[in-house]
Copies of this chain bind each other. A is one copy, B any other.
């Protein structure tokens, strides 16, 4: 079956925002075995949108539109799509009720244009929006399927995962089952080289590598008549990847993130953790606390941005700061030890680096980051040279810290030593 993506939004045509929704939806659809041959971006213009949708329906089985479901005058995706399929809009009681609850909960007044969002095409499947006011819509007509999703990724992604993915999984005859093997602590090209023979040649299951910041994910996708069969096809591939990548594999569960894996490791070993961050300014603790239930192991963290704070809150020695500088192996170590002592946590991780754009020198360039991890008094410190802008350096630092934490904990409890 073929799927086609239409992203609606003037801000995309003006280049104000990057079309991350299209990449997300394309990746999801590919993972389900749906073939995508076209992606189109069109503005909030009824005539051009209608023409684009008509063309898409002529050449594809499923069309997913995103954006243009807001309450404002220039949001007309729903009206236009319903028109193309010859469906009338009706007020949906359920959606209307949810709108009222949404605004009541926030003690906000409902303006008239909001009601527009409770209007849905006749005999459409309505998808509740748990993160906003625009419901998703699925319309079926003459063997074709048109799916409308809100533009904000924070609304689109949960809606796709919660309702659209299961819906599409039911549409395809047979099943497509995929499993992800997630790696940390190894580069993309290295990982691809190690798995090159598996990636090429494979037809069913297929194996596709995806590079995330500081991570590499392999998605193994099998087509079969039943899930049981698909799983049987996937199992040996997962086993082989685990053999080849060993401790770099942190999970084989699609839903488990690196921070989740680290928190699980802490929980499993009854270890509490604390953070001491300089250049990342709280990004690491924010990432750890994004995991529900983290309060069992994470009690407090410190953002010590200034040297004074590093000294006062973490007990970093002034001579160390003067002699080696804040961005140094020694200070990273002292930060981790100091954080462990101050919080009495079993695990303490410290990050100090130069995120840029300023503050770099020839001997300590922008992107130089030291990360130390202390597990029950045993400290390990590593340095990195990240490239890219301030955001990239900070994000890479956080992933490197999570990877180092995992490594140190595993080494503490086993004889394993990582490459």
Contacts of A13 in B (CB 8 A): 26, 30, 36-39
Whether B23 pairs with A389 at a CB distance below 8 angstroms is no
A90 in contact (CB, < 8 A): no
How would residues 273 to 299 of chain A score, 1 for a CB under 8 Å from any chain B CB and 0 otherwise? Answer: 001010111111110111011110011
In Å, the complex CA distance between A301 and B210 comes to: 35
A237 at interface by CB-CB < 8 Å: no
Number of interface residues of A (CB under 8 A): 114
Partner of A113, one of B28, B189, B394: B189
The 8 closest A-B pairs by CB, nearest first: A281-B289, A282-B282, A15-B27, A15-B26, A282-B285, A300-B309, A301-B303, A39-B41
Give 1 or 0 for each of A361-389: 1 = CB within 8 Å of chain B CB.
00000010000000000000000111111
Complex interface: chain B residues within 8 A of A109 (CB): 190
Q: Which residues of B contact A243 (CB under 8 A)?
A: none
Query: What separation, in Å, do the CA atoms of A25 and B308 have in the docked complex?
Result: 44
Q: Is A213 an interface residue (CB 8 A)?
A: yes
Nearest-neighbor residue (CB-CB) of A388 within chain B: B131
Q: Give chain B residues whose Cβ lies under 8 Å from the Cβ of A389.
A: 130-131, 158
Interface residues in A40-60 (C-beta closer than 8 Å to B): 40-43, 45, 48, 52, 55
Spell out A's residues near B (CB within 8 Å): 10-20, 22-30, 36-43, 45, 48, 52, 55, 70-74, 102, 105-109, 111-114, 130-132, 152, 154, 158, 178, 187-190, 192-193, 196, 199-200, 208-211, 213, 219, 221, 275, 277, 279-286, 288-290, 292-295, 298-306, 308-309, 313, 356-358, 367, 384-392, 394-395
> B387 near A130 (CB under 8 angstroms)?
yes
* Contact in complex: A15, B25 (CB < 8 Å): yes
Chain B residues, CB < 8 A from A189: 71-72, 111, 113-114
Least CB distance from A353 to B in Å reads 12
Kindly list chain B residues whose C-beta atoms are within 8 Å of the C-beta of A306: 295, 299-300
A369 to chain B, nearest CB (A): 12
Are A305 and B298 interface neighbours, CB within 8 A?
A: yes
